[in-house]
């Protein structure tokens, strides 16, 4: 066999390096950007999920009741948007015996009073419902509408109105970016629900989280599209204490 010339050897070495570099880059992108690994969430026994109109038609009777201890439904957004599937999902999920709560996507451009009213007008005040959730995320289009102090004040208005109306401590669903920029050190009594797809949540100041959304690519029988999957931070006993604090008893299923 003819030995390669020195030039051919150099070209071959260069091609190999490029190939290895491309492969390494692909691995990094898969592990840290595209791949969402839910493995570390397996240690938490209390599981749930959240959905909105984006999941389309949901066949609630097909969803295994024993597997999921809580479900959150998108109800509202900003000052006037109401999720078109909320009412159907709310009624059907409760009929199947699931513990259900509602969340509001907070628009940083709107004041807290208007957003609280939108949520209150949409979500029934049921004593057996899970605490209301305010979804707080960084929005570059709205972030400069208020100063940080003004924004915290508006969030406080909505927080307080929901707490007064529903008689339960609201929860903040947060992105790490929003928490670290705006919320760190504030609302210390408000439970946190953290979106983090690369491992267990770590936030500035290391506050304890209550819920963790560990992937947006969950698959559930009865739902055709990918679903946000969540876990509660604690044991089954801890979960029962959480429910008791919120005056909640599990619903009795009305159908098999």
Catalytic residue among 95, 111, 137, 139: 137
Q: Model-level pTM greater than 0.85?
A: no
CA angle (13, 14, 15) in 5-degree steps: 90
**CA atoms of 72 and 28, how far apart (whole Å):** 33
On the CB side of 237, CA atoms within 13 Å amount to 0
**Catalytic site includes residue 137:** yes
Catalytic residue among 50, 83, 196, 228: 50
Q: Is 3.20.20.80 the CATH classification of the domain at 46-245?
A: yes
**Catalytic site includes residue 95:** no
Q: What string of pLDDT tens digits covers the 256 residues of the chain? A: 533 444 444 455 444 444 444 444 444 444 444 444 544 888 999 999 999 999 999 999 999 989 999 999 999 999 999 999 999 999 999 999 999 999 999 999 999 999 999 999 999 999 999 999 999 998 877 878 899 999 999 999 999 999 999 999 999 999 999 999 999 999 999 999 999 998 889 898 889 999 999 999 999 999 999 999 999 999 999 999 999 999 997 555 443 3
Three-state SS for 77-135 is ECCCEECCCHHHHHHHHHHCCCCEEEEEECCCCCCHHHHHHHHHHHCCCCCCCCCCEEE
List the chain domain ranges: 1-34, 46-245
> What are the DSSP E strand ranges found in the chain?
47-51, 70-77, 81-82, 100-105, 133-136, 171-175, 192-195, 211-220, 223-232
**CA atoms of 84 and 75, how far apart (whole Å):** 8
Residue written as token pair 């899970």: 130
């Amino acid at each position: 066999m003819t030995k390669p010339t020195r030039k051919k050897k150099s070209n071959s070495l260069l091609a190999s390096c490029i190939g290895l570099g491309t492969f390494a880059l692909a691995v990094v992108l898969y592990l840290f950007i595209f791949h969402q690994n839910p493995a570390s969430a397996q240690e938490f026994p209390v599981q749930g999920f959240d959905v909105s109109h984006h999941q389309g038609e949901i066949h609630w009777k097909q969803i295994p009741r024993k597997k999921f201890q809580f479900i959150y439904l998108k109800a509202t957004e900003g000052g006037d948007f109401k999720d078109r599937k909320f009412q159907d999902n709310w009624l059907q999920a409760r009929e199947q015996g699931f513990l259900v709560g509602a969340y509001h996507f907070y628009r940083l451009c709107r004041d807290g009073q208007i957003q609280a009213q939108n949520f209150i007008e949409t979500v029934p005040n049921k004593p057996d419902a899970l605490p209301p959730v305010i979804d707080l995320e960084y929005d570059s289009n709205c972030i400069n509408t208020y100063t940080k102090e003004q924004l915290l004040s508006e969030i406080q208005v909505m927080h307080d109105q929901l707490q007064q109306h529903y008689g339960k401590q609201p929860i903040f669903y947060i992105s790490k970016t929003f928490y670290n920029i705006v919320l760190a050190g504030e609302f210390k009594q408000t439970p946190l629900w953290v979106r983090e797809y690369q491992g267990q949540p770590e936030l500035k100041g290391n506050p304890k989280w209550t819920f963790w959304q560990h992937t947006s690519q969950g698959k559930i029988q009865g739902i055709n599209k990918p679903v946000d999957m969540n876990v509660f931070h604690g044991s089954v006993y801890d979960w029962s204490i959480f429910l008791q604090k919120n005056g909640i008893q599990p619903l009795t299923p009305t159908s098999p």
